[in-house]
Structure 1
């Protein structure tokens, strides 16, 4: 260990003002002692507005479980932005994300990512994963909510002869349905996997979960299955309400936090002290969104109030938790900017 430190100091003497790590990255772009990185190995179109981005992580990556997500960092106009994306490949396979062009970061990933690009990473997280013991499963998805469930299907269906999975997926039309060809092939090959494609353009509406009628038709034994759901907030709200009434078993993965209706208040002026920026924010705009709109480089992760990667010290003022409506804040308190809004003038130490 002492010898390594001596060698490091000697190397630094020859590379100053740069570090030896800077030169090592010219040879290996994944080499970094401070930040996990990944090399893009393939960009595969899924629909007109969606791609699957496959990547090879550097050292420090933990193999993902089916259904987990990871924070992905991408630089846009010299600013690094972080977002959380579900990993769409099966457990044990090289990781990939499937992204739809919605929002600044996702659109940049879809339109601009090329083989050989370097992404920034954080290790996989999340507990929206397969059950520990085999059992009949029902997967309810809509839109891009299919991505974590696709990881589960790729993990389970081809590998387990006793797999018993029903997928009911809602999308506008066949051309906009993610993984449509692969899912159809899996349904043809494996009798334990049944696919119900629910095209809203043909049926005139999304799968209705306010009653049991659509589920009874799509999967008559749905009450006997462990259910998983992922998709837009109203879709998941309806699913949770239905399963509560039926006293069934449902696991949900949300891409946005559950906010209390009417939790926003008067808002206020938000001052980002170290960045020397100020912005007026209304009571329903999160501090994270306000900072990004002002050009401040804000830490973030899940953007749902779970991972706590967005914590920033509060210097003055109070904030409102948009999930509960609670107003709180003391100088020095770490606030979650992704689910907090200004409750009057606010100063943040960033």
Structure 2
């Protein structure tokens, strides 16, 4: 061990001001001790707006469980941008993310990613995962909310002959439905999977209604007896949560949800204020319902971010002065030097951030 450390010190002297890893990365871009990376191995266009990006991660990646997500970094115009994406590949396989071209970073990933590109990675996270013991399952998804559930289906259905899964997926049209052909093929091949698509345009613009059990009774009559997983837009998940809360004494315990956005308390927005980003020498007037993360990005500040919903804490930024309002609870707080989650806090008067 002492000899290895001595060799590393000698190598560092020879490569200063760069590190030995910087030269090694020229040969193998995944060989970095500073930042976990992955190389893109395949790019698949799923719909007109959605793309699946397969990648091979470097050493240090933890194998993902079906349904988990990971923070993904990409260089855009020389700036490293981070976002969180659900992993759509089956557990036990190299990971993949399925990205819809909405927003600056997701659009760049969906439109511009090529085989051989390098992604920056953090390890998989999240507890939206399959139950520990076999049981009948109901998967309720809408739009890109299918992504983590697809990982679950790809993991469970081909490997478990006793699998009993009903998937109800809502999309605008068949052309917009992610993984449509693959799901129909899996349902033909494996009797344990039932797939029900709900196309809103074919239903006269009517969305899948979860405010009462009528639609569910038609699509999955035994829905109350299944362990349910739901992922999709906030209003979709809010309706599902309320329905399960009123479905029986144990209904809520049978519903697991995954949100792509934080649950904000209605009416938490206040007057807002002038937000000053001191190191970036920029400032912007921000409303009391605008997350500080969004305010910073709007005026061109490179803001640290991850899940963008108050979970991963990657957006923590020191507060220099002022008060902020937690958009989930309405609580106004802030002390000098306090680390603020910018994705779920807004200005409550003038605010100065150390970034």
Correspondences of 1:70-219 after superposition (within 5 Å): 70-204=70-204, 205-219=206-220
Correspondences of 1:19-58 after superposition (within 5 Å): 19-58=19-58
Which residue of structure 2 aligns with residue 293 of structure 1?
298
Match of 2:349, SS?
coil
Q: Distance in 2 between matches of 1:335 and 1:15?
A: 38
Q: Distance in 2 between matches of 1:337 and 1:133?
A: 38
Q: Distance in 2 between matches of 1:34 and 1:315?
A: 29
String of CA shifts for 1:126-182, please: whole Å, max 9, x gaps: 000000000000000000000000000001100000000000000011111100010
Which residue of structure 1 aligns with residue 286 of structure 2?
281
TM-score (ref. length: structure 2): 0.97
Q: Does 1:303 align with 2:304?
A: no
Which residue of structure 1 aligns with residue 4 of structure 2?
4
Match of 1:160, SS?
coil
Which residue of structure 1 aligns with residue 246 of structure 2?
245
Q: Distance in 2 between matches of 1:277 and 1:7?
A: 45
| Matched residues, number | 350
TM-fit CA distance, 1:294: 2.1
Q: Does 1:233 align with 2:238?
A: no
Which residue of structure 2 aligns with residue 258 of structure 1?
263
Q: Distance in 2 between matches of 1:15 and 1:22?
A: 9
String of CA shifts for 1:269-319, please: whole Å, max 9, x gaps: 111122222121111111111111222221111111111111111111000
Which residue of structure 2 aligns with residue 69 of structure 1?
69
TM-fit CA distance, 1:12: 2.2
Aligned with residue 318 of structure 2, among 300, 313, 317: 313
Q: Does 1:345 align with 2:346?
A: no
Q: Distance in 2 between matches of 1:18 and 1:64?
A: 33
Q: Distance in 2 between matches of 1:33 and 1:192?
A: 44
Q: Distance in 1 between matches of 2:153 and 2:320?
A: 47
Match of 1:90, SS?
coil
Q: Distance in 2 between matches of 1:19 and 1:109?
A: 29
TM-score (ref. length: structure 1): 0.98
Q: Distance in 2 between matches of 1:67 and 1:12?
A: 41
